[in-house]
Structure 1
């Protein structure tokens, strides 16, 4: 169950980053409340995941999901730059997170 909590936490992090970008673009104050709620959910599910997973693994996977999701959403929804190097470096983050799981 802890891995499910961790994945949910990662997706809440991605949604939070999307809302943050929308706030920056629109300036709508209500989005700050949505952002706070999403980050509270993200941290809440991360803490549930860390009941069974080590802190290092949980945090690495959580940040990996957030980083990968943030870059992918930025490219898909906000027309941010695409480059092979960006995706290679992003792949390294994901590979390192998986590697940490295998050595623990």
Structure 2
């Protein structure tokens, strides 16, 4: 259950990052509410995961999901650079995340 909570925390972090971009484009209460809700849910699920998982592992995986997911969403939704070097480093982040799961 802790790993499911951790993945959900990472996904909500990605949603929060998307809502930051949305808030910059459309300054309205709905975007602000969704931003706060996304990051709030992310922290709640991270806290649930950290009841079982070590803090260092949980935090590293949470940030890895958020950072790589945010970069991937930026490429897909906002036309950010898809240069091969960028993709290699995103893959390295994801590989490290999987590695932490395997040794935990």
| TM-score strictly above 0.5 | yes
Mapping for residues 71-82 of structure 1, pairs under 5 Å: 71-82=71-82
Q: Which runs of 5+ in 1 are unaligned?
A: none
Measure how far apart 1:69 and its partner are: 1.0
Question: In the comparison of the two structures, how many residue pairs are matched?
Answer: 104
Measure how far apart 1:78 and its partner are: 0.9
Measure how far apart 1:30 and its partner are: 3.0
> In the alignment, what sits opposite 1:38?
38
Greater shift, 89-98 or 38-47, is seen at 89-98
In structure 2, C-alpha distance between the alignment counterparts of 1:39 and 1:97, rounded to whole Å: 20
> In the alignment, what sits opposite 1:100?
100
Greater shift, 25-34 or 45-54, is seen at 25-34
> In the alignment, what sits opposite 2:14?
14
> In the alignment, what sits opposite 1:55?
55
Q: Detail structure 1 runs of 4+ shifted over 6 Å in the superposition.
A: none
Q: Which runs of 5+ in 2 are unaligned?
A: none
Measure how far apart 1:100 and its partner are: 2.9
How big is each residue's C-alpha offset from its partner over 1:43-98, in whole Å with a ceiling of 9 and x where there is no partner? 00000000010011111111111111111111111111111111111111122222
Measure how far apart 1:101 and its partner are: 3.3
RMSD (CA atoms)? 1.3
